[in-house]
């Protein structure tokens, strides 16, 4: 989470699943000794009918507690959009898009974060056509972002394939809506 360590603000993500990326963001903040909150938006799966337990959300909080970052984390159990109102009017230094990778979802997620992110927007699974489309559109239509880094990694969606992680860096800040 190099981008998180290089900034001073808060972190938000759409698509938290089991909590791995939130943990990495929290660890990056801890490593450089800085304050900051972590906002996580995910449907976190369904509760089991027999036990009334949401295993994914339960595992998510176990991870936060295990790594000692639970005091930084605000988790919202919902699909995006809409972005949670309690977190919408906040500005983030780094935002991660790792939610629904298909259809209009990556575009909708980018549009939410582009107005509220000061430094970096990160995309996981940029090899998926609808995510790649958003990134291409950003470079084609907006001049306030540049590609900072592109990293290949083993896919957590398709075991036999390589996935791409792309970090965009904001180079112009006039399109940021500030917190009120």
The helix (H) or strand (E) run that includes residue 152 is: strand 145-154
Q: Who has greater pLDDT, 113 or 81?
A: 113
Q: Where are the chain's structural domains? A: 2-170
Q: Is the pLDDT of residue 32 over 50?
A: yes
pLDDT on residue 44? 87
Q: Who has greater pLDDT, 179 or 155?
A: 155
| Burial group, residue 179, by CB count within 10 angstroms (0-12, 13-18, 19+) | exposed
pLDDT in tens, 50-96: 565 678 888 999 999 999 999 999 999 988 778 888 898 899 999 99
C-alpha count within 13 angstroms, C-beta hemisphere, residue 34? 16
pLDDT on residue 180? 47
In this structure, CATH architecture of domain 2-170: 3-Layer(aba) Sandwich (3.40)
């Amino acid at each position: 989470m190099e981008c998180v360590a290089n900034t001073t603000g808060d972190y938000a993500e759409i698509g938290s699943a089991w909590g791995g990326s939130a943990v990495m963001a929290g660890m990056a903040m801890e490593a450089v000794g800085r304050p900051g909150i972590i906002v996580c938006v995910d449907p976190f799966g369904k509760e089991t009918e027999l036990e009334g337990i949401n295993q994914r959300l339960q595992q998510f909080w176990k991870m936060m507690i295990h790594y000692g970052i639970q005091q930084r984390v605000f988790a919202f159990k919902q699909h995006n959009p809409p972005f949670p109102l309690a977190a919408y009017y906040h500005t983030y230094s780094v935002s991660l898009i790792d939610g629904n990778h298909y259809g209009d979802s990556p575009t909708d997620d980018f549009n939410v974060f582009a107005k509220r992110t000061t430094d970096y927007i990160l995309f996981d699974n940029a090899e998926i056509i609808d995510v790649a489309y958003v990134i291409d559109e950003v470079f084609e239509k907006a001049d306030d972002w540049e590609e900072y880094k592109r990293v290949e990694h083993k896919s957590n969606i398709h075991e036999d394939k390589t996935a791409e992680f792309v970090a965009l860096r904001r180079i112009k800040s006039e399109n940021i809506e500030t917190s009120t």
